[in-house]
Chains A and B, each alone.
Chain A
Amino acid sequence: MRVDPITLEVVNNALVGVAEQMAATILRTSYSTVIREMLDYSTAVFDPEGRIIAQSCRIPIHLNSMSRSLRTTLDQSFPKIEWHEGDIIITNDPYRGGQHLPDIQTFLPVFAGGEMVAICGTLGHHLDVGGMRPGSYAGDAVEIYQEGLRIPPIKLFEAGKLNQRLFDLIEANIRQPEQTIGDLRAQAAALEIGRAGVLDLVERYGAEGFRDCMLDAVDISESRLRERIRELPEGTFEGVYYVDDDGVVDEPIRIATRITIKDGGIHVDFTGTDRQRRAPINATISSCESATYFAILSILDPTIPANYGVYRPITITAPAGTVVNANPPAPVVGRNAITHTIVNALMMALSKVVPERITAAYYGMSNVYILSGEGEGADRRGWILFDIEVGGGGARATKDGLDCYSQGIHNLANTPIEMVELNYPLRFKRYEFIPDTGGAGRFRGGLGVRRDIEFLDEVGAVETQFDKFKVAPFGLFGGGSGKTGRLVLNPDGPAPRELASKNVNLRLHRGDVLSMWTQGGGGYGAPAERAQEAIQRDLREEKIGRAAARADYGHARAAE
């Protein structure tokens, strides 16, 4: 330890405050619904080596990948010596530490007395970065080149001066440039706020004191996680789970995990996982690591400050050329099918070690849908709405799973219906829990939700990236599976059409209704052990139906 524990606590809290303040700036000043309503963005502070020190409470899959992106930038593109006061470096390259093209990261070095003392970073999911489909979610891409504009690390601002030509290049290659450029400006403004916050701390504690605090923070998180790992029995534990398909070829994708606990470290081996696909479902190593870090940290000890130190006890073997460590030019936009499945597979593996801390499988997919229309009338303007929906949480050792609540590697808010209807030619018909979607068990899985949207523009399309329509969210210790998801076109019309989970350029016309049914979470423990009063409450609240109650929990117990 370099710093006394009191100063360390004070400085670390302040740094998390800086990250939160950056996040608040983006929230208040961004433009696209993706960032401003869905909160699909993250902010963090790094040390000059690119190690993440403090993060805002936003999206875990972003945060635990930003270090790799930044460190790759430092190693391969801009060594420290090429960073100058007032620079902002941006990148979205999945094959240089990123995850998928819509996630644009920005980094700003903070200098004090001529020395770089920290780097502030933001990551925003942008509404569109070009490519062959609106929202840059091309379900039929076979190579990354089709997915949109790929930006290796490059200076967006150089010594405080905007690189207008780069802005022009970006603008010329994307749909809805107004929103993307506005969001990039919000990201830049947040970095300035972060810089001021860091400098304030450096002024108070000195550059050296500040650096020591960052080093200690990382060491402490590492030692706390190692201590937790040492409490576990040593051994090897497996969890295998599946993605439905890649949207192009109708075959399940196997995610194999083998966890070895030994000497205060955890090794996760993905050997046995399927080869990468010529479909936009692949994850780069950064996505794979991020999902792994999230799962282990949330299961073993969510109170440890999440910084670079918690990565150190975790080692990963992810064979190149598989869906968890794809080689270029594999397309990657739908990588969350893989990362959610990694988290659930690791839950399964660790259920054998810490059954009281894991959850049964949650809904297991970001359930992305992108609606777009061409607009009408003389001043017609095209529009794009990017949205996601969540489902039921996995049941836990002592309580039910949460009904329709963000779980796992993402953490998104829904967009207010009234905000969508005000800005887009869309009308909601329904947004309701679906009874009987939570897996039965001593503790019930959370419920999925049904969301029906009527299309009011003349003509348009929808792209979807859903999953777990065939592979159900599993229950544990006797608990039942959650219900799989479904997508239906015109469910209440004369000719309802059942859709696949992944759709490309599905044409929509005025009056069409898209109905999304999200997945329920898995149950935990034998249904026979469920408390009578919990069954009665679920019946009263119509979260389970009478027929299902009899089937799952038995006649007598379901009777009033």
Chain B
Amino acid sequence: MGAVRIGIDIGGTFTDITVLDEATGRLAIAKVPSRRGDPAGALVDAVRRGLELAKVAPGDVTLLVHGTTIVTNAVLENKLPKTALLTTEGFRDILEIGRHFRPDMYDLQQDKAPPVVPRDRRFGVAERTTATGEVIREPERQEVQRLLAQVKESGAEALAICFLNSFVNPANEAKVRDWARAELPGIHVSASCEVCREIREYERMSTVALNAAAMPLVARYLSEIAGRVGAVLPNAKVLLMQSSGGSLTVGAAQNYPVRMLTSGPAGGALAVQRIGKATAYDNLLGVDMGGTSTDISLIHRGELRMTTEGAVAGRPVKLPMIEINTIGAGAGSIAWLDSAGGLHVGPMSAGADPGPVAYGRGGTEPTVTDANLVLGRLHPDRFASGDIRLDREAARRAIAERVGAPLKLSVEQAAAGIIRIANANMERAVRVSSAEKGYDPRSITLVAFGGAGPMHAAALAQAARIPSVLVPEQPGVFSAVGLVMADIRHDAVQTRVLRGAAITPAAVAPLYAALEAEADAALAEDGVPRAKRLLQRTADLRYAGQAYEVNVALPAGTLDAAAVAALVLRFHDRHLQSFAHNHPDKAVEFVSARIAALGLMSAPPIQPRAKANGGAVVPKERRQVYFDEAAGYVATAVYDRERLGPGATIAGPAIVEQIDTTTVIHPGQKARVDDFGNLLIAIGS
């Protein structure tokens, strides 16, 4: 056997393992329970499981791509290492003041997220750079040394540095950074000019503070796994998944851990993109529905939609990341009535413990899973590989008592109502990601994955006017596929505001030249050979006077007058597409130059499966399943996913069961299995 890649995604409950044979493109996937408390041990465990599973010799593994949530969890749980901040004197509270807009208009009891660095570890340096980049006050070494002594005294393990206007001229910031590194050898130092050279001080400060705070955590973790992985996989290079959908080398991950902050759902989005490439669907909407939340991503003309306006737990992260809309609607979302008898679903969730009423672990409030069970969509004995036996009677009682009786609905009507509302919550999020961004839902294929996605996808697509649904072969572990497909990636940005006629090749070309040199050096440091390096340019533009920019692609090649003119034209088009109007006669402003530097890992395309016997297949059983549109129970065919080979066709209503999920096909809908083993559902109008 030739070169093999392993992808390992360690989540809170499960660890997903993917093994890819580079020569054949063959994938093997597995899901094992996560081991708590010892993430490095869990990683090594998972590696061993992967080797066993795919019958691979350890020496054949050339690449291990790892997705980890240790940074995300530390942020969500407010358990980041002690961190200090140096900023311009007079501005140390920017990190805590934020933008002071409250997310709920009426709630007097709301709080804001505590700052990553508390006030007693935030220090002001007497220094100043103007908006045009002129240094009007240089930092004084003695003063800075005094502050650095206080930083050390405070017990901080990490130090973030962010000065006003450092995105224009980082000289002062870089100087203080160098002093800090010299004076504080045991403390991790991160400066905003290295992490995010973009305008808007609060967002930049938040990003670098999170980066610094994550550095000690990630350094400890990576040094622990380096030895242990090396012992098991002698020939494997280790890469880490980042929020942008690219991967990072261990060295880069230590310096820029904030880039991994939302890497969890990134794997899923990347897998959706790859399946689109294989199946030639250009526009796809990924719907990853788990127990407590649903992650929605969009691929347009083969490209993932990206954003630089992400946030985690109320803290902005101003870095390119895959745009993922996460909503609090999942299989464990709780159905509840307000005081006037209005029915709502979520955002509270029963989680895995106690879980839905049907788990019989003490849950009393009905959830979406309970509703699916009551309606016959889930089989009580075949849930989660049969590990959990579901108690249908208990679910019925809870829904009848808590929803049905107060609303004078039958238990089935109440359960169907819960599902309709959960779907409507998801539908709103689907619209935010598609129609509201100017994408026509009729051109989109919905890719349903996660444990609960395929159960809701057909109804969701119908409501959102999306004509087809694709359910991949192993929806429960689909996200892990993205890991082994990721290219190495570095993103770099430089804000330089240029208005109208000032957007010239002479002004723009040097920006990209500098960014490209920097990005190319980063790839070289990662050991990416020249032939595998790909640099992609984009630019953030807006109409002069607007505050928000539109990101527009800029082709490689000479940046001459024609290229600049074409860039401006593309901006007008994008503005029209996204906001339904544009102003071709208005002055355009160039705001930031961006480079995405890819180290191509040349993952083989997903291979079609061997043809099996196509045509109609025989169901393994029929059972009574309730459908709204039929206003009652319908004798419904039930199929085993494993036995549906390429070419198989199914007519709804139907249920397709497999180890990690259940797919619901509604009356009137038709489904078939494509050459790659995907189940395609055609949604009637």
Binding site for B on A (CB under 8 A): 4-6, 8-10, 13-14, 17, 21, 24-25, 27-33, 36-37, 39, 57-60, 63, 178-179, 182, 185, 189, 192-193, 220-221, 223-224, 227-228, 294, 297-299, 302-303, 306, 357-359, 390, 396, 398-399, 402-407, 411-414, 416-419, 421-422, 427-433, 449, 452, 540-543
Interface string of B397-440 (1 = CB under 8 A from A): 00000000001000000001100110011011001100010000
Taking a contact as CB atoms under 8 Å apart, the answer to whether A414 and B421 are in contact is no
Q: Does B480 contact A (CB under 8 A)?
A: no
Residues of A close to B102: CB separation below 8 A: 405-407, 411
A–B pairs, 30, beta carbons within 8 Å:
A6-B417, A10-B420, A13-B425, A21-B432, A25-B580, A29-B575, A36-B547, A36-B548, A185-B581, A220-B340, A228-B339, A303-B338, A359-B108, A403-B97, A404-B97, A404-B100, A405-B102, A406-B101, A411-B105, A412-B100, A418-B201, A419-B547, A421-B131, A427-B130, A428-B91, A430-B91, A433-B93, A433-B97, A540-B120, A543-B119
In the bound complex, CA of A404 to CA of B104 (Å):
16
Q: Does B199 contact A (CB under 8 A)?
A: yes
Q: Does B96 contact A (CB under 8 A)?
A: yes
Q: Does B111 contact A (CB under 8 A)?
A: yes
In the bound complex, CA of A89 to CA of B342 (Å):
35
In the bound complex, CA of A403 to CA of B114 (Å):
11
- Nearest CB in chain B: distance from A242 CB, A: 22
In the bound complex, CA of A440 to CA of B350 (Å):
40
Residues of A close to B339: CB separation below 8 A: 224, 227-228
Contact among A189, A398, A432 with B91 in the assembled complex (CB-CB below 8 Å) = A432
Residues of A close to B96: CB separation below 8 A: 403, 433
In the bound complex, CA of A402 to CA of B579 (Å):
36
Taking a contact as CB atoms under 8 Å apart, the answer to whether B92 and A390 are in contact is no
Taking a contact as CB atoms under 8 Å apart, the answer to whether A432 and B93 are in contact is yes
B window 212-242: CB within 8 A of A: none
In the bound complex, CA of A463 to CA of B543 (Å):
29
Residues of A close to B90: CB separation below 8 A: 428-432, 452
Taking a contact as CB atoms under 8 Å apart, the answer to whether A297 and B106 are in contact is yes
In the bound complex, CA of A33 to CA of B101 (Å):
15
Contact among A179, A413, A414, A540 with B545 in the assembled complex (CB-CB below 8 Å) = A179
Taking a contact as CB atoms under 8 Å apart, the answer to whether A419 and B200 are in contact is yes
Q: Does B676 contact A (CB under 8 A)?
A: no
Residues of A close to B585: CB separation below 8 A: none
- Nearest 4 pairs of A and B residues by beta carbon: A302-B106, A36-B547, A430-B90, A6-B417
In the bound complex, CA of A224 to CA of B92 (Å):
44
Q: Which residue of B lies closest to A193 (CB)?
A: B580
- Nearest CB in chain B: distance from A394 CB, A: 9
- Nearest CB in chain B: distance from A244 CB, A: 23
Given contacts A5-B407, A303-B338, A414-B97, contact A57 B105 (CB under 8 A): yes
Residues of B close to A27: CB separation below 8 A: 548
Taking a contact as CB atoms under 8 Å apart, the answer to whether B130 and A421 are in contact is yes
In the bound complex, CA of A554 to CA of B100 (Å):
32
- Nearest CB in chain A: distance from B345 CB, A: 8
Residues of B close to A358: CB separation below 8 A: 108
> With contacts defined as CB atoms under 8 Å apart, how many contacts are there between chain A and chain B in the complex?
190
- Nearest CB in chain B: distance from A346 CB, A: 12
In the bound complex, CA of A5 to CA of B432 (Å):
24
Q: Which residue of A lies closest to B407 (CB)?
A: A5
In the bound complex, CA of A320 to CA of B191 (Å):
59
Q: Which residue of B lies closest to A178 (CB)?
A: B545
In the bound complex, CA of A452 to CA of B96 (Å):
18
- Nearest CB in chain A: distance from B250 CB, A: 34
- Nearest CB in chain A: distance from B74 CB, A: 22
Given contacts A417-B164, A419-B200, contact A9 B101 (CB under 8 A): no
Residues of A close to B104: CB separation below 8 A: 57, 302
- Nearest CB in chain B: distance from A36 CB, A: 4
Q: Which residue of A lies closest to B119 (CB)?
A: A541
Given contacts A13-B424, A227-B340, A416-B199, contact A431 B93 (CB under 8 A): yes
Best-buried of A358, A403, A418 by chain B (most CB within 10 Å): A418
Q: Which residue of B lies closest to A426 (CB)?
A: B131
Taking a contact as CB atoms under 8 Å apart, the answer to whether A31 and B546 are in contact is yes
- Nearest CB in chain B: distance from A452 CB, A: 7
Q: Does B533 contact A (CB under 8 A)?
A: no
In the bound complex, CA of A399 to CA of B112 (Å):
12
Contact among B99, B106, B120, B547 with A414 in the assembled complex (CB-CB below 8 Å) = B99
In the bound complex, CA of A303 to CA of B342 (Å):
12
Q: Does B584 contact A (CB under 8 A)?
A: no
Extra inter-chain contacts (10) besides given A418-B199, A432-B93, CB under 8 Å: A9-B343, A10-B420, A302-B105, A396-B109, A402-B112, A405-B112, A416-B202, A418-B164, A428-B164, A452-B90
Q: Does B341 contact A (CB under 8 A)?
A: yes
Taking a contact as CB atoms under 8 Å apart, the answer to whether A416 and B424 are in contact is no
Taking a contact as CB atoms under 8 Å apart, the answer to whether A224 and B93 are in contact is no
Taking a contact as CB atoms under 8 Å apart, the answer to whether A6 and B420 are in contact is yes
Residues of B close to A406: CB separation below 8 A: 100-102
Residues of A close to B108: CB separation below 8 A: 298-299, 302, 357-359, 396
Residues of A close to B407: CB separation below 8 A: 5
Taking a contact as CB atoms under 8 Å apart, the answer to whether A416 and B581 are in contact is no
Residues of B close to A28: CB separation below 8 A: 546, 548, 578-579
Interface string of B324-361 (1 = CB under 8 A from A): 00000000000000111111100000000000000000
Contact among B99, B202, B421 with A6 in the assembled complex (CB-CB below 8 Å) = B421
In the bound complex, CA of A421 to CA of B201 (Å):
11
Residues of A close to B165: CB separation below 8 A: 418, 421
Residues of B close to A33: CB separation below 8 A: 547
- Nearest CB in chain B: distance from A177 CB, A: 12
